[in-house]
Structure 1
Amino acid sequence: MKHEDFVEQVSTHSDALRAAAVAAGPDAPVPTCPGWTVRQLVEHIGVVHGWVAQATTTPVDGPPPGRPTPPQDWADLLAWWDELRAELLRNLAEVRPCWMRFPMLAASTAGWARRQAHETAIHRLDAEHAAAAAPHQQASTVPTLVFDPEFAADGIDELLSLQPVLSKHWESWTDTGRVLVHAADAGRLWVVRLRPGQPPEVGETRDAVGEVDATVAGTADAVYRALWKRPSTALVSGQPAVAAALRGL
């Protein structure tokens, strides 16, 4: 995917997230983020977008950006987030070096565009689930959301590469094994090697992978959701402990 594609995804999913959040209402629970309300979801994505907006204008060797503080009033919160995400999109429009938190991503706005595309897409999904579950909603909106195979497969690839940073779950792993991750409609396969107390080793392949201990397979959309621990139709088979370790992001 090209840089401008990721920027467009940030815009598209943030608009849809906002619409779903408004439809659900600030006090609606978010089923896919236990303990969160929609207000907390919007606060979270607003803080992230504001923080990254600052990161994209911070020199590569500059200090980490500070995190903005969200307002309490719901209308003010939405307006505050609107300003921050507009700033973020402006900053992402041009590819240039900048501060980056994740060492495996490019220290540039290109790295941030990809990261924020998937951050925003997954939280859009959360907002859609909240709207679908709200008492005043007559029908679920979630089935209408199907992520594009290329985009979802890229999200799988990004998440697998970021796993050692986004989660320390691997530090307590006690199982050894290999997991095949297969996004069928995107034609992409990854093999993840798990070892006790070690970061996972991830490799993408187009060849036969031999014997594996567990498999996570389905459409790219389904596997994307499964690896982010969202409701999914992906098929998980093999040794339960090994498969659970991969999904314990």
Structure 2
Amino acid sequence: MTLEFSDLRRLIDERSTAFRAAIASAPSLDVRVPTCPEWTLFDLVQHLGGGDRFWAAVVEAGPADAPPAEAVALRAAVAAPREREALLAWLAESTRLLLSALEEAGPDRGCWTWWRASRSPQTAGGVARHRVQETAVHTYDVQVTLGPLRPLPDEVTLDGVDEFLSTCIATPAAWPHKPATIDFHATEGPSWRLTLDADGARATRLSADVETPDLSVTGTAGELILCFYDRIPAASLRLDGDAGLLDLLRAWEPEE
């Protein structure tokens, strides 16, 4: 499923609200985050809020071949307040700035992105779609640190599997190993095939009548997302075939 632009903005807001609610309940902002072991909760808040402000500036700048100077300066100078209430207000304002920039731009306005156009659209809509996933996964990080841990919303994860494969994996750079196919099956229904060969990596929605893949990975869409972002091990999913392909894929750093 591909979400409407209004749904993407709503989900960014909802996940950020859930993130702030979890932070508000933290006994200390110095607690270490087990899924981001080098970070404290404060570091995680600063990262998420700084990311919102960076991408707001990117979207506002419009089409560009490199990160806009204003966005780079914001990222370099990000300094969230340490006091709890001020920090939560700073984070809420960070999200407001991003949502306002997205609404003003509309889904089709071009902007710089770190991914190439061959992967996902280099537009405000592409930014919104990816920020939904970033915010959702970091909300999981807070919840796994503090509890209670809640599943990622279905509409986030079902779109998120496709978003990750097309944004973070797809590339025209040649796969440096033997050609292979990996199928990803969400138990909610959708499936995707990742093809890896000399033409690069590309993901397509899977039809019912296809040849057997080299590896099949099955789990809920939420589990697939958390595995993609290294929050849970691949071994927690059902793996049928050459599981070593996941290690090769994880280690691959293609140059485009």
> Which TM-score band (shorter chain)?
0.7 to 0.9
Q: How far has the Cα of 1:192 moved from its partner?
A: 1.2
Change over 3 Å in CA distance of 1:165–1:51 after alignment to 2? farther
Change over 3 Å in CA distance of 1:23–1:172 after alignment to 2? farther
Q: How far has the Cα of 1:171 moved from its partner?
A: 8.5
Aligned equivalents of 1:206 and 1:248: distance in 2? 28
SS in 2 for 1:117: helix
Aligned equivalents of 1:19 and 1:42: distance in 2? 12
SS in 2 for 1:71: coil
Aligned equivalents of 2:248 and 2:24: distance in 1? 35
Change over 3 Å in CA distance of 1:81–1:171 after alignment to 2? farther
Change over 3 Å in CA distance of 1:21–1:192 after alignment to 2? same
Show the counterpart of 2:229.
Answer: 228
Q: CA offsets, 1:140-162, max 9 Å, x none?
A: x11x32421x4312111111112
Show the counterpart of 1:55.
Answer: 58
Q: Is the 8 A contact 2:184 2:217 kept in 1?
A: yes
Letter in 1 for 2:8: F
Which of 39, 42, 46 aligns to 1:43? It is: 46
Q: Is the 8 A contact 2:15 2:136 kept in 1?
A: yes
Change over 3 Å in CA distance of 1:164–1:225 after alignment to 2? closer
Aligned equivalents of 1:175 and 1:207: distance in 2? 25
Show the counterpart of 1:88.
Answer: 98
Letter in 2 for 1:41: L
Show the counterpart of 1:162.
Answer: 167
1:1-249 to structure 2, matched below 5 A, reads: 1-24=3-26, 25-61=28-64, 64=68, 65-66=71-72, 67=75, 68-71=77-80, 73-75=82-84, 76-94=86-104, 95=106, 97-101=109-113, 102-104=115-117, 105-132=120-147, 141-142=148-149, 144-148=150-154, 150-164=155-169, 174=177, 176-185=179-188, 187-195=189-197, 199-231=200-232, 233-246=236-249
Q: How far has the Cα of 1:100 moved from its partner?
A: 2.6
With 21-30 and 94-103 compared, the bigger mean Cα shift is at 94-103
With 175-184 and 36-45 compared, the bigger mean Cα shift is at 175-184
Q: CA offsets, 1:188-238, max 9 Å, x none?
A: 211112348x74222222232212121111222222222222237532232
Change over 3 Å in CA distance of 1:237–1:34 after alignment to 2? farther
Letter in 2 for 1:202: A
Aligned equivalents of 2:142 and 2:18: distance in 1? 9
Aligned equivalents of 2:174 and 2:81: distance in 1? 37
Q: How far has the Cα of 1:163 moved from its partner?
A: 2.2
SS in 2 for 1:56: helix
TM-score by length of 2: 0.80
Instruction: Quote the RMSD (CA, aligned, Å).
Output: 2.7
Letter in 2 for 1:208: D
Identity %: 27
Q: How far has the Cα of 1:72 moved from its partner?
A: 5.1
Q: CA offsets, 1:16-51, max 9 Å, x none?
A: 111212323311111111222111111111111000
Q: Which runs of 5+ in 1 are unaligned?
A: 133-140
Aligned equivalents of 2:83 and 2:214: distance in 1? 48
